[in-house]
């Protein structure tokens, strides 16, 4: 097969603690060598001034297919992923039908292969039909390729079921991912409960609803030895509980989204449904705690929680509009512009949280540029300036809170299995 040399780039690979300018050689779809010369390659890609890193992984994506193809398909979602620099995405099981059987998992893998964009992994349901009653056939789903288990938007309310899920998933060394929300505390809520919700007369979703469930989940993970992954963390107290649990050896990891790192409930004053998501945008003090937790390693992963909704569903009265925003095509730019540029995070740390960390949590053979690994590579131009224009999105939906943002830094080439799948401009 062919070979490709990525020349003169700053290779940042946290899995190997590497950060240096070198020539990276790809051959036959795998990482072949470092410090290679142009003569060794059929083709050369000049990456001078660019960052070359393991292909980015987004471990929290909603692809909507099967069931809601009007919002997104596996094909459009995977194309959006490439444009955002992601070579692997992990899709949540809240499809219709949900990913609670081998058949649905196989269908998604089939559609992904047909689309032939990026790697698509699936999370399986914890419970049959995401009803929170009986365990789904987790063992069969593992055989069908499920890399973790969650009931996603339906938090596992019954603590006994969660306990059993931890115990059962431990047998397969798979994590249980939970959306931390006590629904009784958020009934009717559309935004964070605070001064802004009080002023707007909107029903709030208190941060306690997340904290209560994180506390319970940690206790059960600790009691069972199971692996807990807290999805889209948003609260300062939640951060602190996870920090302490990690310190005493509980097997807990967590993720945060770009929007929860950069926006607050103040944005809701515009009544724009593109600021409506669950968990909600919270107050400044929470955002600061999340950034500190990214810095000290308490938060392992940055994930988009890409949640497409068609325009006609999303642009409604604020109580009728569905929760969720898309993020595949903006995550890297927002992280670069709002966290790396002001010095809150450095490139190696940010890349670690979008490559090797999610790969390790889910046991993916990805997230590294070690010799012999799959040649999934993202080339980032940290100086590229661009404006978020939802009309240009490859995603089928355009429900982004970042429309019009001027960003600095983006993927300029996305390489999957040695093949250049996307270039910018």
The answer to whether residues 226 and 249 touch, using CB atoms and an 8 Å cutoff, is: no
Residue 305 annotated in active site: yes
Number of H helices, E strands in the chain: 13, 18
Q: Which of 46, 285, 319, 389 binds another protein (CB under 8 A)?
A: 319
- Quick one: CA dihedral 120, 396, 183, 239, positive or negative? positive
Q: Which of 292, 318, 384, 420 binds another protein (CB under 8 A)?
A: 318
Q: Is 385 in the site for another protein (CB under 8 A)?
A: no
Look at the block and give the residue holding tokens 């009986």. Answer: 134
Please state the closest distance from residue 313 (CB atom) to another protein, in A: 11
Helix/strand/coil for 200: helix
Is 316 a residue that touches another protein (CB under 8 A)?
yes
Choose between 200 and 292: whose C-beta lies nearer to another protein: 200
**Cβ 49 to another protein, closest distance in Å?**
42
With respect to another protein, which residue has the nearer C-beta, 343 or 404?
Answer: 404
Q: Give, in order, the Cα–Cα distances in Å from 134 to each of 100, 115, 265, 300, 331.
A: 11, 33, 36, 30, 35
Given the complex with another protein, which of 200 and 219 has the nearer CB atom? 200
Residue 284 interacts with another protein (CB under 8 A)? no
Q: How many CB atoms lie within 10 A of CB 162?
A: 26
The stretches of 338-398 forming alpha helices (DSSP H) are 347-352, 356-362
- C-alpha 61/C-alpha 84 separation (Å) is 13
Could you say whether residue 199 binds another protein (CB under 8 A)? yes
The yes or no reply on residue 195 touching another protein (CB under 8 A) is yes
Give the integer Cα–Cα distance in Å for 174 and 57.
Answer: 18
Which 8-state DSSP code applies to residue 310?
-
Within 10 angstroms of residue 421's Cβ, the number of other Cβ atoms is 20
* H-assigned helices in 116-176: 138-143, 159-170
Only segment of 187-195, 230-238, 253-261, 298-306 that touches another protein (CB under 8 A): 187-195
CB of 325 to another protein, least distance (A): 17
Q: How far is the CB of 312 from another protein (least distance, A)?
A: 8
Nearest to 276 by CA among 314, 333, 327, 233: 314
Cβ nearer to another protein, comparing 39 with 270: 270
Which lies closer to another protein via its Cβ, residue 21 or residue 199? 199
# residues contacting another protein (CB under 8 A): 18
Q: Which residue in the set 320, 370, 389, 423 belongs to the binding site for another protein (CB under 8 A)?
A: 320
Which one of 58, 71, 305, 374 is the catalytic residue? 305
In contact, 411 and 85? CB cutoff 8 Å: yes
Distance CA(425)–CA(413), nearest Å, equals 9
| Region binding another protein by CB under 8 A among candidate stretches 129-137, 166-174, 218-226, 316-324 | 316-324
Q: Give long-range contacts, CB 8 A cutoff, 24+ apart: 185-188.
A: 185/209, 185/212, 186/278
**Interacting residues with another protein between 261 and 280 (CB under 8 A):** 270-271
Dihedrals φ, ψ of 60, to 5°? -140, 90
Q: Is 425 in the site for another protein (CB under 8 A)?
A: no
Q: How far is the CB of 268 from another protein (least distance, A)?
A: 9
Q: Minimal distance in Å, beta carbon 199 to another protein?
A: 7
Among the listed residues 106, 198, 223, 370, the single contact to another protein using CB under 8 A: 198
CB of 187 to another protein, least distance (A): 6
Distance CA(259)–CA(315), nearest Å, equals 19
285 is a contact residue toward another protein (CB under 8 A):
no
Tell which one of 18, 33, 135, 200 touches another protein (CB under 8 A). Answer: 200
Q: Which residues, other chains included, contact 242 with Cβ-Cβ below 8 Å and sequence gap of 6+?
A: 214, 218, 230, 233, 252, 254, 293, 298
**Which residues here bind another protein, judged by CB under 8 A?**
187-188, 194-195, 198-202, 270-271, 312, 315-320
Residues recognised as catalytic = 305
């Amino acid at each position: 097969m062919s070979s490709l040399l990525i020349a003169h780039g700053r290779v940042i690979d946290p899995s190997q603690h590497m950060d240096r300018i070198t020539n990276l050689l790809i051959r036959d779809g795998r990482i072949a060598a470092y410090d290679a010369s142009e003569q060794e390659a059929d083709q050369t890609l000049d990456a001078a001034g660019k960052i070359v890193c393991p292909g980015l992984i987004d471990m929290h994506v909603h692809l909507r297919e099967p069931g809601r193809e009007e919002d997104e398909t596996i094909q459009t979602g995977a194309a959006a992923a490439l444009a955002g620099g992601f070579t692997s995405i992990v899709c949540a099981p809240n499809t219709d039908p949900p990913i609670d059987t081998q058949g649905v998992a196989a269908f998604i893998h089939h559609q992904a292969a047909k689309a032939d964009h990026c790697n698509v992994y699936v999370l399986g349901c914890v419970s049959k039909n995401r009803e929170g009653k009986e365990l789904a056939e987790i063992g069969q789903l593992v055989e069908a390729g499920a890399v973790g288990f969650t009931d996603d938007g339906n938090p596992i309310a019954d603590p006994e079921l969660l306990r059993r899920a931890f115990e059962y998933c431990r047998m397969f060394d798979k994590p249980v991912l939970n959306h931390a929300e006590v629904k009784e505390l958020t009934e009717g809520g559309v935004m964070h409960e605070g001064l802004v919700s009080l002023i707007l007369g909107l029903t709030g979703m208190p941060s306690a609803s997340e904290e209560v469930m994180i506390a319970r989940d940690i206790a059960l993970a600790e009691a069972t030895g199971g692996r807990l992954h807290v999805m889209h963390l948003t609260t300062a107290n939640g951060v602190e509980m996870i920090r302490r649990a990690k310190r005493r050896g509980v097997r807990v990891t967590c993720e945060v989204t770009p929007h929860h790192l950069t926006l607050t409930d103040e944005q809701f004053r515009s009544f724009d449904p593109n600021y409506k998501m669950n968990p909600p945008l919270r107050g400044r003090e929470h955002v600061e705690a999340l950034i500190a937790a990214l810095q000290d390693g308490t938060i392992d992963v940055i994930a988009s929680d890409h949640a497409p909704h068609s325009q006609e569903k999303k642009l409604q009265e604020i109580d009728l509009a569905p929760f969720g925003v898309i993020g595949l095509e903006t995550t890297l730019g927002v992280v670069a512009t709002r966290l790396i540029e002001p010095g809150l995070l450095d490139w190696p740390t940010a890349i670690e949280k979008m490559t090797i960390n999610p790969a390790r949590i889910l046991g993916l053979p990805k997230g590294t540029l070690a010799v012999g690994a799959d040649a999934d590579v993202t080339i980032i131009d940290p100086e590229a300036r661009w404006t978020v224009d939802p009309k240009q999105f490859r995603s089928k939906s355009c429900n982004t809170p970042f429309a019009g943002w001027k960003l600095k830094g983006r993927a300029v080439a996305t390489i999957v299995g040695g093949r250049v799948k996307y270039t910018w401009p």
